[in-house]
Structure 1
């Protein structure tokens, strides 16, 4: 049928008669051959494209491996304009990880500080200067310099994050050089305070020393002095990300989000209210570079599961519309933390207890507190894999205050939700 249509079309186009059938047959064969050649050329062209693409992919992978091996970027100093290499951060290691999500209380990217200057909001014993790492500013430490940000006193629970960049640590002239992070309870610029807890590691690449991270606390009866196995050699001459989590006496340290240190009783005697960075040794004339950037401190709560296991806790972070049991959207972040904790341990059984201030009728407040507890339970079992039977509810209205109901602040503290282990 297609051939007949093709012939008719040709007949109309060239205005030929039935007597030219032989001509049409020859023309049809030529057209067919031309079509074949067109198809062959098209196939050849597409095959060529795919082949080129495959080859490009191979070479691109090789090129990417070369770049990954070099892993370089520009570090520039206003004084000498020196260049040195550093790498991108490592892939996040799954498993033992921590992602800060608390309230940001301090953040430093040195935006207002001029390149070549020491930052205005920091203190130091031996100096340092702002340099560029790529397009971002960082604080480069001078040899034997202790540096401390003006953060004010830090809370009991917080997470400190920063990028740690080193360059040109190629073994030469680095004997005795090290980086130290110390937690103290005084706002004093002294690397040898009597009461402190610290971890440090050697910057002497190529030796056996960087394969250990030393942890030690001072001025306490609960003495810890130990070496933790971890090869820092793999982290030199690039940028890595540190996260230090303080929960009371407990210190956890993550490098590129892999947990390296976890010491439950390391920070004794209120140590940890201030943090100090210290660089020992190195020689600038050899191009040795150690810098920190993207510093951030977030206030973190104590681990919720841990608090429940200890008996429970109460919070004012769960908010409701005035005189209502309708949850405010601002409550969802904290409720999600509770939900994840309860979901991770199916053995936990909790009583959710609502509390109100003393404004209004006491009977109405009692009923409202009960309804609010139910709202919390409903949110948790709706959004998380928690058995309904693991959550009980109760309300105490205004009958169990924790602060003075005659003040604004006192009433705010009394409007709370309690989670009690059953």
Structure 2
């Protein structure tokens, strides 16, 4: 019996030892497998990182610059719209009753004045059709601004309607709405949303014939503007047309507007849609038509000189108080676009006061304009010379206030 008990004990102990050995081996194999897996992952990551590094930054092999790498290219721009100072027409529909069509405008369709929970003031809600502004005589240099809200279901399945804005000639109390109207001169652009972007295109007519049809400019991420105020700004300088949407320049066309077009009426066209009126809403407001300035940038580059009385200084001071015509900005743009361009700035005063004092004052004013170009627009000071001529070279002998204003000027000369 004792032998039997001893044998059983030995067998049990052996089984435990074997089980422990087996478990130990399993544990060792598991640890080896885990270690191998981790090593493979690390090696894989290292290999992937090495490949990525090789792909992104390969060794440059160029004859001109051996051993260098290609750098990322970046660019900068600026919002250079300058609104005109002399207002020709302004309309925010404040005088119009809610629910009514504005008295000064014309339509063959339906429109009504509304208020919105997301924007201040009164807004004209437009529906599919045509809407025409009061008559406003647009000169060869003008600026047009207004606000636009376009709202539709982002999850909707229909095509979003396009909206067009145009300037026509021969407008007279809604004549453009007549089916007998014959197009002569026109400048129009259309915003056509599609999926997440919007296509913007401009077309112009001069003496009945089509003058220009632009390429389509794609505004990315346009869905982010749904339901928000979009500020539209237009600058016309003879033939040159520039258009911005929320400070994004969509067009800068040097030969787009009809010459001597006598444009005098603004028109809005909204296309049809499968959306219901409850699902869709297009609104406009805050119109401002103003007399603009000529294309001074082009004049400086083509003729070699230009001058302005639009830079205003404090009385008997060289401090720049305002630049109503945006001349300094235009000159800065010309110099930024043409790195080899160098200029001389010449200050002029009227004949009031002593000639010696006027010479000093005019020189300081020229320096102030130079400093604005250098500090605000980062133009290298080595590209700018300055001079003051006081009242020695007047452009008129008129001693009236108007004549004095003409003589108080700043001249830019290409050197």
Give the TM-score, by structure 1 length.
0.61
Alpha-carbon distance in structure 2 between the residues aligned to 1:386 and 1:250: 25
Asked if the contact 1:355/1:369 (under 8 Å) is kept, the reply is: yes
Asked if the contact 2:318/2:364 (under 8 Å) is kept, the reply is: no
TM-superposed CA distance for 1:196, in Å, is 0.9
Aligned to 1:258: 248
Residue by residue, what CA displacement relative to the aligned partner does 1:109-146 show, whole Å, maximum 9, x if unpaired?
33332220122443444451112332533211244222
Q: Is structure 2 residue 109 aligned with structure 1 residue 116? A: no
SS at match of 1:308: helix
Alpha-carbon distance in structure 1 between the residues aligned to 2:199 and 2:364: 57
SS at match of 1:389: helix
Alpha-carbon distance in structure 2 between the residues aligned to 1:281 and 1:404: 61
TM-superposed CA distance for 1:327, in Å, is 2.1
Alpha-carbon distance in structure 1 between the residues aligned to 2:355 and 2:366: 17
Alpha-carbon distance in structure 1 between the residues aligned to 2:149 and 2:204: 21
Residue by residue, what CA displacement relative to the aligned partner does 1:193-252 show, whole Å, maximum 9, x if unpaired?
32112223557x68xxx7674634242667223552537995596446233332321223
Q: Is structure 2 residue 125 aligned with structure 1 residue 140? A: yes
For residue 408 of structure 2, the aligned residue among 415, 418, 422 is 415
TM-superposed CA distance for 1:358, in Å, is 3.3
Aligned to 1:102: 83
Asked if the contact 2:311/2:327 (under 8 Å) is kept, the reply is: yes
Residue by residue, what CA displacement relative to the aligned partner does 1:245-294 show, whole Å, maximum 9, x if unpaired?
32321223333443333322110123455432223445896545332234
Aligned to 1:244: 234
Alpha-carbon distance in structure 2 between the residues aligned to 1:160 and 1:132: 20
Alpha-carbon distance in structure 2 between the residues aligned to 1:168 and 1:383: 43
Aligned to 1:181: 165
Asked if the contact 2:135/2:264 (under 8 Å) is kept, the reply is: no
For residue 163 of structure 1, the aligned residue among 148, 167, 175 is 148
Alpha-carbon distance in structure 1 between the residues aligned to 2:310 and 2:138: 23
TM-superposed CA distance for 1:409, in Å, is 0.8
Aligned to 1:277: 268
Aligned to 1:20: none
SS at match of 1:347: coil
Instruction: Give unmatched runs, 5+ long, in structure 1.
Output: 1-93
Asked if the contact 1:368/1:397 (under 8 Å) is kept, the reply is: yes
Alpha-carbon distance in structure 1 between the residues aligned to 2:327 and 2:184: 41
Alpha-carbon distance in structure 1 between the residues aligned to 2:228 and 2:163: 14
Residue by residue, what CA displacement relative to the aligned partner does 1:304-363 show, whole Å, maximum 9, x if unpaired?
5444323232121333444x3532534599576367437735432111112222345556
How many residues matched? 323
Distance 1:150 1:120, change over 3 A: farther
Higher Cα radius of gyration: 2
Alpha-carbon distance in structure 2 between the residues aligned to 1:250 and 1:406: 35
Alpha-carbon distance in structure 1 between the residues aligned to 2:381 and 2:123: 51
How do 1:179-328 and structure 2 match up within 5 A?
179-188=163-172, 189=174, 190=176, 193-200=183-190, 213=201, 215-219=203-207, 223-225=211-213, 228=216, 230=218, 235=223, 238-239=227-228, 241=230, 242-271=232-261, 272=263, 274-282=265-273, 287=278, 288-297=280-289, 301-302=293-294, 305-310=297-302, 311-322=304-315, 324-328=316-320
Distance 1:107 1:168, change over 3 A: farther
Asked if the contact 2:140/2:260 (under 8 Å) is kept, the reply is: no
List structure 1 segments (4+ residues) > 6 angstroms apart after TM superposition: none
Alpha-carbon distance in structure 2 between the residues aligned to 1:229 and 1:307: 27
Distance 1:369 1:142, change over 3 A: same
SS at match of 2:205: strand
